[in-house]
Every structure is written in C-alpha cells, then in structure tokens.
Amino acid sequence: MMLIRPIRANDYPALYQMAVESGHGFTSLPVNEELLMRKISRSEASFAKAVTSPGDEGYLFVLEDSVTGQICGTSALEAAVGLDDAFYHYHLGKVVHSSRSLGVYKTVDILTLCNDYTGVSELCTLFLRTPYRQKHNGRLLSKMRFLFLAEFQQRFADKVIAELRGVSDSQGNSPFWQWLQENFFALDFPTADYLTGIGQKEFIAELMPKYPIYVSLLSKAAQQVIGKVHEQTRPALALLESEGFACRGYVDIFDAGPTVEARVEQVRTVRDSKRFQVRIGEVSGGEPCLISNTSLAGFRACWAELNLMAEQDYIIIPPALATALNVSADDWVRVSKI
C-alpha cells in the first residue's frame, strides 16, 4: 500500500537521492545536505507547532511503500511565502503606445518584476521517482495536499499557488535565462537556480533588471517559452487546471514557467472532500478515492477503492486501510474522489 506521511529525520538519505534524481530546474530540492536537513527539521517543527494563522511553516511529506519501506516520492506545502525572504515573479502585462495625430496605436507585452504573491500558500516540492509513476501514485502525492488544506485551513492563506517548471534542456539550459544571462548576469541557469534553492537570493535584487522588460526585445527563443511548462511538467499542470487553478500572467524569473493560483475554497478536492466517521469491515467494489485521517503530526493519507455515499455520515474501510491510516472505529477521516 502507498502511504503519505510527514517526513522524518531518518528519511534524509531518500530525500537526498530524490534531490539528485530531480535534476536541473527543481529549485525546492537542491543537492545540498545542510539545506535538506534544515527542510526536514523545519517540517518536523511545523507539524508540532500550535498555529492559528499562517506563518513561516513548511510541511514536507513523503510517499512510502508500506510493504517495503521504500520512499517513492515527496511533496510539500508552504503556509505563507515571502515573509522572510523576498518572493519574486515576473508579471506579464501590457502597455499601449499611441499617437492620435499619427494614427499609431500599438500594444506591447512587458514583464515587470514583482512580489505580488507575498503571504500566499504554495504547493511545492512535488517529485515522484520514475519506477513509481503508475496507477494513482502521482495523483495521491499531489492531491493529498488538498485534503490537508481542507482539514487544517487555519494554517494556510486564502489563496494557494504552484510554480511550474519552465522550459529547459537536458543540461539545464533555459532559453529565457540565456537572454537574461547575456544581458545582465554572469551566471548560468543551473547556478542561479541552485543559489535560489539554498536561499541566496540577494543577487536577484542586485542584478535583475529594475524596469519592465519589453518582451519584443527578448530573443525569439526566450519569447516562445514565456508561460510554457517543461515537457515532464505537463501532467502536473493538467491536474492543477482540473482542480480549478489558472495562470494570471505570473511567470518564474529564471525559466519563465507559469505560476498558477486558486482560492483554497474553490479548489475542487477541497470543496468536494467530506468528513466521514469510520466503520471497519470488508469492502467490495467501489471507486478510487483519496482518504486521510484527521491527525496533524500523525497525518496519513492513501488511495483506495471505496463505496463513497455522500448522503451518509460514515464510511466502511477495510482493516488494512484502517491500520495504515492509524484510525479505529468511530474516528474521523476525510475522503474525496480521485
């Protein structure tokens, strides 16, 4: 059985290996021992902390094969971004150049550096190891965060975003960054991305263009990737769009990948999930569902085929699933269709 749980200190070797496997452009999993250990410690502290409003908390989860103990993937939630370190984006907007006397009217796209998403919650650090990209594992790893959001809404902002990896090649070269590098920086894309991942963001404020950038002045290759996702990220984008996320013109400052957003209460899984009281028994048939317990530090989530009847206030789950979720009869669980 595939089980979601909070990360623990002894998961560090698996997290490091996933950082290596994730490759270039995966800012939130840098190959850096000190930073990864800090992420684990921060997550453990966040799960143990009493919270009434979102602050500098980060919740890091792992996907574990409960039979083998193998760590298969990871994903995370940030409670409120940009409270300590500046959280940068480019916003794609327009300006109009016009002259009535000359009969000239031209609309021009511009990119403006901003911090508009300061204080919102973020879905991040989603990585599923290649051998486990099957069945419903990817959807479980991504969408279980919506069950967590629904259950612990006081810990998060009203709006949630997700930054999606932009276009880059197998060596980590980004067409968008290539133009910035040639004109403003002496850093290649992997180096800039890594520095951001380990929290060294000062160079952004020091070297990034201070004024809006006219998109038409960028190289053709850079223009073509603005707001586009990496080929491997297309499934993640499709999943988020099915949940109600949309891009409002914000893109990453390094690879120009899109940032999508949604109001938490409008996210489909948050909106449609429901609490049920547990009854333990055998289950036949059913449909694939996401199910989690309602514990914070002991949070557990799985997918299972269940008979979900919204008009009832209870749900029958098999003994093995109850054991995996660490729930007993009359405990509460939160359930949503996959």
Among residues 300, 332, 303, 280, the alpha carbon closest in space to that of 47 is found at 300
Phi, psi of 171 (to 5 degrees): -95, 0
Q: Which of 89, 97, 136, 230 is catalytic?
A: 230
9: tokens are 């200190």
Backbone dihedral region for residue 139 (phi beyond 0: left; psi -120 to 50: alpha; all else: beta): alpha
Q: Which residue has the tokens 């990817």?
A: 138
The CA angle 210-94-261, to the nearest 5 degrees, is 85
117: tokens are 């998403």
230 catalytic? Reply is: yes
Among all residues, which ones are annotated catalytic?
A: 230
